[in-house]
Structures are given as C-alpha cells and as structure tokens.
Amino acid sequence: MEDLTRRRALSIGALLGLASVASAPSAWSWSSAGSIAGTDTVTDPFQVWDPDADDVAARLLADGSIPAVNRAWDSWVRNQDALPSGMPGYLTDYLTEANQLPSWADPELLAASEKLYKRLNSYLFVSESLGSGILSTVIPRESRAVYWSAGGADMKDRAAKTFTFGYDLHSPTAWHPSGYFVVSANKTRLVHSVVRNLLVTSKHFMETADQPKPISNGDILITFHSVATVAYNNMNKWGIKRSAKEEAANLHAWQVALHLLGVQRQFIPVSWAEAQKQADRMLWPVVSPTAEGISLAKTLLGYIEDATLGLTTGFVNEMVRYLIGDTYADWLGLSHDWVSRALIKVAWPTYVAFREGLSPIVPDGIYLFDQFVRGVAMLFLNNGTSPTQTPIVLPAANRPGA
C-alpha cells in the first residue's frame, strides 16, 4: 500500500509538472557534484543538523533566556540594525558570525532577484502561501514537527511567521541595509534549533519520529523544494517569462537563504536542473497523509476563507486542487466545487497572461482573483494587521499536551 501511495504521488507530481516519475532510492545518492560546493561526495543530508546553532539554543533553554531574547529582538529587525543588547554573550558571539552573507554571495544576482520578485510577488503569494502551505501538510515529518511544536497550537500566528520569511525574501529591498531578510533568516534558523531541542522532549512527537531529532539539512531542503522548486515549475506552467539571468537570480537568492538557515554548501543545488533531481529524490517519494497534516490543513484553509472576505469554501478548495493536484487534496478531504473548478482552469492562466501584459483579454473573474491574491497576502502578515512584518520569536515550550 505504501508503494502504491508513493507511485500515485509521483504520478500526480509529474502530471502537474512538479516532479518526474522516479523510484524512491534505498539510500541517499545525490552527489555534491551537483551542489554549489562542486565536490563529488555523497553525504546523507538527513543525518546532518546545525550543531553550532543547536548548542546556542540548548543554552538559551537551560538558562531561561528565551523571554529576554525575544524582548531584545524587538529592536533587531532590519539588515542594518546592530545586534541588540540584552542577549547572553554566547548568543551575541554566535550571531556576530552568522548574521552576514557568505563570501560567495553575488551582489549583482541578489539585486536582480529583488527586481524579479517585485514583478512576480503576487503569483508567488499564491504558489507559496496557499499551494506550498497546504502541500507542507502532506510532508509527514514537517506536519508532525509543526503540529507538536508551539506553533501548531496557534497556526494563524505560525503561518504568519513562516510567511514573513518568504515575504522578506521576495521584498524589493530584501538584501538592502533597510531590508529585513538577513535578520529574518537568522531568527528562523534559531527557531529551528530551539524546536529541535524541544521536540525531542515531546512524548507524542517522538512516538512517530524516524530521526533522532527533527529539522535536518535534508528536511530544510524538502521545504525549499516544496516552496521554491514548486513555484519555479508553476511559473513555467503559467507561461511567466523570465530571462536566464532572472532564473539564475531567483536560484541564487534561495541558495543564500539556505546557507543562512544552516544548510551546508554540499547540499545546496547549483542549478534548477539539479534542484529538480534533488526534489525527485527527497520530496515526492515521501509525501503522505498524516492525522497531524490533515488537522493543520483544515485549520489553514479556514483562515484563508476568512481572510479573502467572502470567497467560498468551494473556490478556495478548488484553487488548492489546481495548485497541488487532486491526489493530495483528496488525502486532505477537500470537497469539490465543479463551477469554481471550471472557472479556475480557464480563467487563471488568462488572468496571469493579462497581468503579465501578454494578453489584451480581460479574464472572467478578474476581480475575484485580485481579491483572492490580496486576501492570501494579508492573511500571513501579522494576522492581517501589518502590510510588512510579523515578529519572529523563539518558543519556550512545545504544543500544550505534547
């Protein structure tokens, strides 16, 4: 049954342009020859974590510094901001090293990514927040880690914090001194480390765990593919034109982002072609429904329906089906709305072409899609109260009862 589920998942991924049909490998075999490190070794990313950040997180939990650090972080939001006072010295020492771009970061490509995202951010909102957000709920390790962590008990707040990472990366000033992304990435990295330390103390999480601790380099890469590689494929599927430099810039922004999250260079794909190979090996073979994921999906979809100001459950469900496919949507128990399905199938590609200036035809439902895009974007920005930022804070415990 497991093999059948896996084959079906790969087939629907291929149909959507999300994956190519491949057999799940018995052991990790993607070579770092396809990485930005350019070496030719085979190391399993699911057995690699983030020891420096994890040690810092363990000390923060042990000495009870989490509340003080969260207060200090209020003044540390922009790339240009000095590290705040009020933090333990060992955290300041760690951030002094971590809170900077790698030597291999290309300023020209990062600047090009800012221009690209300014043009594409509305499509990325849809692909990454709704499509990838719901897709994450059929990634078992991610679903269970989210559900049993503190964020799983308040998914609206957790989704807002997750979206802040993507929003800041796709900002037209992401890498500028006045931008937010480098700080957001460093905060997110430490959140991951705190969660790693906390979840191993959760009885319910550890009952289903198949790793000694969660959020390995491999798990972060799975999330990257479920967001960035899927969005890349959606841009192709929707006919959105990008130059070779724009595609390189898009990938480079994500390469630097992965570095800032603690992913080693030997695992970061050097090209979109290598990213596709990696996704076929690590993402599509593992998708599967879980009780935790179904619960999270139901909660997230309820928020989206509220945020879009009157859009029906049927329309939202069919947009999800359009983005992630019927197989995954069926796993999550999403209902059908055949009228909305017909509209979306015909009108969404026309809407994209019209907004891109590729077609003079005003599509049916243009106001509906505009409303939908705005609603999804605002949902994840501080629960709809801020047009720019949601504070990222460190948790001090797991989900109540975990």
Provide DSSP, 206-269.
HHH--SSSS--HHHHHHHHIIIIIHHHHHHHHTT----HHHHHHHHHHHHHHHHHTT--GGGSB
Question: Residue 14 has what pLDDT?
Answer: 38
Question: Residue 34 has what pLDDT?
Answer: 97
Does position 2 have pLDDT exceeding 50, yes or no?
A: no
pTM for the model: 0.90
- pLDDT tens-digit readout, 75-125: 999 999 999 999 999 999 999 999 999 999 999 999 999 999 998 888 888
Which tokens is 12 given?
């629907």
Question: Residue 365 has what pLDDT?
Answer: 74
Mean residue pLDDT of the chain comes to 87
Question: Residue 13 has what pLDDT?
Answer: 43
Q: Mean pLDDT throughout 145-149?
A: 95
**What value does the CA radius of gyration of the chain take, rounded to a whole number of Å?**
20
Question: Residue 358 has what pLDDT?
Answer: 75
Across the strands, what pairs with 269?
35
Q: Which residue has the higher pLDDT, 390 or 194?
A: 194
Question: Residue 359 has what pLDDT?
Answer: 76
Q: Mean pLDDT throughout 156-171?
A: 80
Does position 308 have pLDDT exceeding 70, yes or no?
A: no
Annotate 354-375 with three-state secondary structure. HHCCCCCCCCCCHHHHHHHHHH
